[in-house]
Amino acid sequence: MAHKPPVFIAPIVILTLLGAGGWLVERQRAANRSTLSGFFENQPSQIASKIGGRVLSIDAREGDAVKVGEPIVELDSATARAALDQQTASARQADARLSLIDAGSRQEDIVRQQEVVREAAAALQKAVAGPRPQEIAQARAHLAEAQAAYDRAVNGARPEELAQAKANARAAKDRLDAAVRGLTPSEIAQYKDRVDAARARNLVASKELERYRRLLAADAVTREQFDKVKADADAADAQEQEASDAYTKAVQGTPSEELREARHEYDAAAAALAILANGVRREDIDAAREHRNEAREALRLVLAGTRREDIDAAAAALKQAQATLKELVAGNRPQERDEAKATALAAHAAVRNAKINFDEHAIRAEMNGIIDRVFVAEGDVVSAGTPVARIDDPADIWIRVYVPESMLANVSAGAPASLKVDGIDAPLAAHVDRVASQGEFTPANLQTPDERGKQVFEVRLRLNRPDARVKPGMYATVRSLGSIRL
């Protein structure tokens, strides 16, 4: 008969197995409770336009690395450039006016105004004294001349004037015919004879000059005698040249410019004769009558003397000229300089404002980073405040974990930490960036069901050195935190 084990052994084995299983479950739960994890986060920068405008160009694309101040988007700045140029010109004008005020009145301006004062004083004195006898005589002579011109216009030309005009026209016609016809053969022969005679005289004079030159070398004649013979030889040479030119001109005929001049002279003489023969036009008579009436009225005003209102006007002009001269001598008032200075300052402030507005058309990076997104395209019209791009800073990245209250005493800002990042084999060194001062309840996405309702504190961790392999959104597990090994 086989030996049976004691009946009490089975419950002991069962209890042992249950205890071991509970120990394993509790160990696993403790491990889960001690695990801190989270994902990397960052805060991208939204680059927006401070002004509105049309997108002219995109200077940075998605994925490009940019530095502070580098342009990302260019807006059309033609209008802003024109406004800046206008404000700059206004500032220069204000500076020039301030410089003129600081320089004061120029001496030539004072001298010129003194002359204006003298002229105004003379005009006033003349107005008070009335017309002089010679002015009255001049007005009478002017009226007599205007009356005579009117009488000639009404009565027409006198016989002797008409005869003179006819004679002038005939003489001009003869000169024109002679210019058109040219010289006769006999007249040309006469010019040829003059050339021969002048050449013969020049030859004799040249020989005489050579003889006197030899005599002068031998001291047989004086310098005065030689100079007289030389002058005669030069005159004979000039006469031969003049006769030769006249003969050449006679052979070639009348030059075109002389022919035109003769024709114009004849046309003018013929026109003058036609005017005298046909009589004066009605409008010329009316103009002569108007001129006579004006001269008559001028004489009447001279005889009547200066009016009171003219004297008052002359006195006012003198007073104004004297006041202007006084201002030039005294220079500008302090208030005028203060006004000009304020205007110049305002103009330069407007230039700075226009420059700022112009510079805003180049939307630039406010931080170093990587272009994550560009929200606009060339040709788009954006308004002020519209985001045009988003920039990520690879160095500005962190992980957020929630530490139970029981572990918080071992965690402080600056404490070292070690992170195991998904996809990266070696742990990465980190440190505590900040510890929340207020507790909160366990977030459901990070803690086990047993820990729900327990108070935790947010702890932000940063890598000691930026790592290009770590991107926002990657998960990591905390291996150590301060003195705590997890």
> What does DSSP assign to residue 465?
S
Check if CATH label 2.40.50.100 holds for domain 48-75+361-390. Answer: yes
Structure tokens at 10: 């089975």
Structure tokens at 311: 């004297």
CA 145 vs. chain centroid, Å, equals: 59
Contacts of 169 (CB under 8 A, 6+ apart): 266, 269, 270, 272, 273
CA distance 318 to 79: 50
> What does DSSP assign to residue 449?
G
Put residue 184 in one of left, alpha, beta given phi > 0 → left and psi -120 to 50 → alpha. Answer: beta
Could you tell me which residues are beta bridge partners of residue 400?
460
Structure tokens at 358: 């112009």
Which helix (DSSP H) or strand (DSSP E) does residue 481 occupy? strand 475-481
What is residue 31's predicted lDDT score, i.e. its pLDDT?
A: 45
CA distance 351 to 81: 11
What is residue 483's predicted lDDT score, i.e. its pLDDT?
A: 78
Question: To which CATH superfamily is domain 394-485 assigned?
Answer: Efflux pump adaptor protein, beta barrel domain (2.40.30.170)
Question: Are domains 48-75+361-390 and 394-485 of this chain identical in fold?
Answer: no
SS3 per-residue string spanning 240-291: HHHHHHHHHHHHHCCCHHHHHHHHHHHHHHHHHHHHHHHCCCHHHHHHHHHH
Q: Domain residues of the chain, as ranges?
A: 48-75+361-390, 87-104+335-357, 107-130+309-331, 394-485
Contacts of 117 (CB under 8 A, 6+ apart): 318, 321, 322, 325
- For the chain, the maximum distance between any two Cα atoms, rounded to a whole number of angstroms, is 195
CA nearest to 60, candidates 314, 399, 371, 404: 371
- CA dihedral 441→447→453→454, nearest 10 degrees, is -80
CB-based burial label for 207 (10 Å; 0-12, 13-18, 19+): exposed
What is residue 87's predicted lDDT score, i.e. its pLDDT?
A: 92
- Taking only the tens of pLDDT, the chain with its 486 residues reads 445 555 556 666 666 666 655 555 445 444 444 578 888 888 888 888 888 899 999 988 888 888 888 898 999 988 889 999 999 999 999 999 888 777 777 788 888 888 999 999 988 888 787 777 887 888 888 888 888 877 777 776 667 777 887 888 888 888 777 777 777 788 788 888 988 999 999 899 999 989 999 988 888 889 898 999 999 999 999 998 998 988 887 777 777 777 788 888 888 888 777 776 666 677 877 888 898 899 888 878 777 777 788 888 989 998 999 888 887 777 777 887 888 889 999 999 999 999 999 888 888 988 888 888 898 898 999 888 889 998 988 778 889 998 888 888 888 888 999 999 988 889 999 999 899 887 776 554 444 445 544 688 899 999 998 888 888 888 999 998 887 887
Helix axes 78-103, 334-359, angle to 10 degrees: 160
Contacts of 468 (CB under 8 A, 6+ apart): 394
Where helices occur in 132-222 by DSSP H, the ranges are: 133-155, 159-181, 185-217
Q: How many CA atoms lie within 13 A of 377 on its CB side?
A: 0
What is residue 430's predicted lDDT score, i.e. its pLDDT?
A: 92
Can you give the C-alpha Rg of the chain in angstroms?
58
